[in-house]
Amino acid sequence: MLTALAVALAVAASAAACWLITRDRLTEQLDATLGNVSVDAAYVRALSAECNGTAPEGIRFQPTPYTIQLVSVDGGVCTSPEKSQIPAERADVAVAQGRSGGTVHTARAADGAEMRVSTVPYHGPATDALGNQVAVSVAAPMEQVTEPLNQLALVLLIVAGVGVLGAATTGLWVARAGLKPVDRLTAAVEHVARTEDLAIRIPTEGEDEIARLSRSFNSMTAALAASRDLQQQLIADAGHELRTPLTSLRTNIDLLERSERTGRAIPPADKLALLDSVKAQMGELAALIGDLQELSRTPDHASGGPGTPPVVALHEAAATALDRARLRGPSLTFDAALDPWYVRAEPAALERAVVNLLDNAVKFSPSGSTVEVRLKGGLLTVRDHGPGIPEDELPHVFERFWRSPSARSLPGSGLGLSIVARTAQQAGGGVRLRPAEGGGTLAELHLPGAALPPPEEPPAAE
């Protein structure tokens, strides 16, 4: 509608300008033609005599396409025979009185015809009935101008109508074609909102804004679908991992309850073993829930609020983690060399990641072996002398709940290395595991930072 309106205004303005210019040009041509008409002096004398009643009988006037009139000083007119009289105007009288050198104007004849009149002074012997000088008017019908103008107006109207209709049709087609991707996008959004189906994709073509918006929408739905799949997988895996300790807990508690109900006492050694099993299963549940909570935290949530992570001394976090690892592996020897290194990370998450790496080494190290820990240039390495990880299992070690077939009998949730990988990624670094020379596994955690802490900001002035 806006396109059609704009085109209609433009066409109307062009048509009006064309019509006005054509009218002026045709009127100028008619005025020039009337100005070039020369009225014979004999004709003027005969017409004057005819009007004054002194013309001889039987006088005949030659036919002419123009209306010729004599205008007297008092406004009277004498019109050529068989022509409709045109009333004299003030401009014509002024010419007859000698106050004007000529005039051209449009007037309406007695029969209603619109006439273009050119009046000029006459200096010949013709006079009116009172003997006053007269002016000569030559008039021609305005049909010579109005008929072409009417035809032009009709043509312009038809052309303008076709142009506006064509513009409206073209504008509608362009609008529909341009908004079709928006309609598809709207339908896709409504479909997702109605059905929660994130598998829908919008076909995209070109590089315009709509195509970019469609690709962004496809990327968003793909990311949401992947996130939902990961969420569902996490729930399924967590449910699977929780089922084993819960089943064991239920079995042990059922045994203890049955013993109390029936009065059949369980041997003290077996009862103690049952209680130790219940305690171990509860500890495993607590560790699993803690790992799930750690994975569910966002960086802002982990730090207690939004903003840039604080600067953390990685060597101090590693030293604290080593103290905990020594308690868990009293039969192991820890060989540590930690150079100062400062990184931006969440303190609790960073310490937990280092603890997980050391716990992994403690879990797989044989009694009496050595765990080597090194921190230099932002690279923290933990090397154990255990059985190592097969090459085909290395790509899966950082997946959630993945556990090596050989380690499924050992305690753990399968989330420790996932937490390490997530913490390293949030801090802008990375982690990898690879077989160590001479056996065992070498874990490498690389975090960007500096060997010196950043300068402290001066306290704000109160």
Q: Is 382 exposed, middle or buried (0-12, 13-18, 19+ CB in 10 A)?
A: buried
Based on its alpha-carbon atoms, the radius of gyration of the chain, rounded to whole angstroms, reads 54
Q: pLDDT value at position 383?
A: 93
Helices 143-195 and 2-35: crossing angle in degrees, nearest 10, is: 170
Residue closest to 99 by CA, chosen among 130, 129, 69, 121: 121
List of residues 6+ apart from 225 with CB closer than 8 A: 198, 199
Boundary of a domain, candidates 98, 118, 141: 141
List of residues 6+ apart from 316 with CB closer than 8 A: none
Kindly state whether residues 311 and 440 are assigned to the same domain.
yes
Distance (Å) of CA 218 to CA 206, 212, 223:
15, 10, 8
Tokens of 428: 């802008």
Kindly state whether residues 258 and 349 are assigned to the same domain.
no
Kindly state whether residues 333 and 357 are assigned to the same domain.
yes
Is residue 274 in a domain? Answer: yes
Tokens of 381: 């390495």
CATH number of the domain that residue 52 is part of: 3.30.450
Q: pLDDT value at position 41?
A: 80
Q: pLDDT value at position 233?
A: 67
Q: pLDDT value at position 54?
A: 64
Kindly state whether residues 282 and 401 are assigned to the same domain.
no
Residue-by-residue DSSP string for 229-258:
HHHHHHHHHHHHHHHHHHHHHHHHHHHHHH
The phi and psi torsions of 278 (rounded to 5 degrees) equal -60, -45
Kindly state whether residues 276 and 317 are assigned to the same domain.
no
Q: Which domain holds residue 110?
A: 37-141
Length of the chain: 462
Q: pLDDT value at position 305?
A: 46
Kindly state whether residues 290 and 348 are assigned to the same domain.
no
Neighbours of 325 (CB within 10 A): 23
Kindly state whether residues 251 and 357 are assigned to the same domain.
no
CATH number of the domain that residue 285 is part of: 1.10.287.130
Q: pLDDT value at position 462?
A: 47
Q: How far apart are CA 143 and CA 267, in angstroms?
A: 131
Long-range pairs, 266-270, Cβ under 8 A, ≥24: none
Is residue 151 in a domain? Answer: no
Q: pLDDT value at position 448?
A: 92
Q: How far apart are CA 447 and CA 309, in angstroms?
A: 14
Q: pLDDT value at position 420?
A: 84
Is residue 13 in a domain? Answer: no
Q: pLDDT value at position 375?
A: 93
Boundary of a domain, candidates 81, 110, 141: 141
Q: Is the dihedral of CA 407, 411, 412, 413 positive or negative?
A: positive
Residue closest to 68 by CA, chosen among 54, 98, 47: 47
Kindly state whether residues 273 and 349 are assigned to the same domain.
no
Kindly state whether residues 311 and 275 are assigned to the same domain.
no
> Strands 333-338 and 370-376: what pairing?
parallel
Q: pLDDT value at position 404?
A: 59
Kindly state whether residues 227 and 288 are assigned to the same domain.
yes
Is residue 184 in a domain? Answer: no
**Which 3 state secondary structure label does DSSP give 140?**
strand
Is residue 323 in a domain? Answer: yes
Residue-by-residue DSSP string for 361-416:
HHHHSPTT-EEEEEEETTEEEEE--SS---GGGGGGTTSTT---GGGTTSS--S-H
Boundary of a domain, candidates 296, 319, 346: 296
Kindly state whether residues 291 and 321 are assigned to the same domain.
no
Is residue 224 in a domain? Answer: yes
Q: How far apart are CA 450 and CA 377, in angstroms?
A: 8
> Strands 311-313 and 342-344: what pairing?
antiparallel
Q: pLDDT value at position 303?
A: 42
Is residue 441 in a domain? Answer: yes
Number of domain units in the chain: 3
Residue closest to 449 by CA, chosen among 309, 294, 301: 309
Kindly state whether residues 372 and 272 are assigned to the same domain.
no
How would you write the pLDDT of the chain (462 residues) with one tens digit per residue? Answer: 777 788 888 888 988 899 999 989 999 998 898 888 888 788 887 887 777 766 555 556 677 788 888 888 888 888 888 888 889 899 988 988 888 888 999 999 888 889 999 999 887 766 665 667 788 899 999 888 888 888 988 988 898 888 888 888 888 888 787 777 788 778 888 888 888 777 777 777 777 787 888 888 888 888 888 777 767 766 766 666 667 677 778 888 888 888 888 878 888 888 888 888 788 778 767 766 766 666 666 555 444 445 578 899 999 999 998 988 888 888 899 999 999 999 998 888 888 888 888 988 888 888 889 999 999 988 999 999 888 887 777 776 777 655 555 554 455 556 678 778 888 888 889 998 888 888 888 999 999 999 888 876 555 444
Q: How far apart are CA 445 and CA 321, in angstroms?
A: 14
CATH number of the domain that residue 357 is part of: 3.30.565.10
Is residue 221 in a domain? Answer: yes
CA angle 426, 440, 409 (to 5 degrees): 80
Q: How far apart are CA 92 and CA 78, in angstroms?
A: 13
